[in-house]
Amino acid sequence: MTEEKLHPTPTNLPDQPAADSETVQRVPHPTNVLLNQIGRSTLLLPALPYRAADLSPWISAETVALHYEKHHRTYLKKVRLLIKTGPFDSDRSLEEIVLHSAHDGPSDLFNNAAQAWNHNFYWKSLSPKENAPAPFMASMINARFGSLDALKFAFISECSSLFGSGWGWLVLANGKLEIEMTANADTPFVRERIPLLAVDVWEHAYYLDYQNRRDEYLKNVIAKLLDWQFASDRLQQALRGIKARARG
């Protein structure tokens, strides 16, 4: 189906520039501090930070290709389609669209925008090379969970107990590291909880490789693939944001 068929343009009206529409202007900008903590993304599919085969044997090239080329790409495509008829001007970042649609809807825009963002973040949360948190993050992990292994164990356990589809997260919430689970497309940053790592707990993330053995996928991804260097960078950025808020 073409985009025109989904959203027919009235032919009896003159084309209007988006900026003239009242609906475009009724959406206020969210706080820049939060956006500085989580970043700003375009509505285009970002490049994978590695080759599709690089996550094997824990996640196969086939799974990565299908997940990235079909699922992830489709969420972004739907967002671009939906904002043509919604209250957003075209230069809004994906993060702004997620924040606004979380509160004001429409729900299909939120679901697709949040899923797009979650997938952007998921690929960045994984690394083909096992690595360790930066020392300042390791200290915070030790203080909160006892050790990195204990955090991984708790993370696997929480993800394993999720009923249905959703996401597992390591977040910074009120200045503390926390594990959080979200259902379906939901994403922590709409509640100002700053994502540091994401694990996709939807069936399409593992079914080709693991069939029904979700626990095995979770164990491998969390033990072998999480990018703790990325998480450390995100944590540093989030802590800077907290300082900026305290000053501002």
Q: Which residues bind Mn ion (CB under 5 A)?
A: 200, 202, 205
Assign 231 to helix, strand or coil: helix
- Please, what is the minimum distance in Å from the beta carbon of residue 165 to Mn ion? 9
- Please, what is the minimum distance in Å from the beta carbon of residue 227 to Mn ion? 17
Q: What is the dihedral of CA 41, 47, 48, 53, to 10 degrees?
A: 170
Of 37 and 118, which has the nearer Cβ to Mn ion? 118
Of 27 and 205, which has the nearer Cβ to Mn ion? 205
Q: Are 210 and 217 in contact (CB under 8 A)?
A: yes
The C-alpha angle with vertex 202 and arms to 198 and 207, in degrees rounded to 5, equals 120
Cite the beta strand spans of the chain per DSSP E.
166-173, 176-183, 194-200
User: Which tokens sit at 101?
Assistant: 């649609």
Assign 226 to helix, strand or coil: strand
Of 200 and 227, which has the nearer Cβ to Mn ion? 200
Integer angstrom CA distances of residue 5 from 1, 10, 81, 186 = 7, 12, 11, 29
Q: Which residue is nearest to Mn ion (CB)?
A: 200
The amino acid sitting at 245 is: R
- Please, what is the minimum distance in Å from the beta carbon of residue 5 to Mn ion? 27
Of 37 and 63, which has the nearer Cβ to Mn ion? 63
Of 177 and 205, which has the nearer Cβ to Mn ion? 205
Assign 79 to helix, strand or coil: helix
Separation between Cα atoms, residue 106 and residue 108, nearest integer Å = 6
- Please, what is the minimum distance in Å from the beta carbon of residue 71 to Mn ion? 5
CA proximity to 41, closest of 137, 108, 118:
118
Of 192 and 203, which has the nearer Cβ to Mn ion? 203
- Please, what is the minimum distance in Å from the beta carbon of residue 209 to Mn ion? 13
Of 82 and 205, which has the nearer Cβ to Mn ion? 205
* Radius of gyration for the alpha carbons in the chain, expressed in angstroms and rounded: 19
- Please, what is the minimum distance in Å from the beta carbon of residue 198 to Mn ion? 10
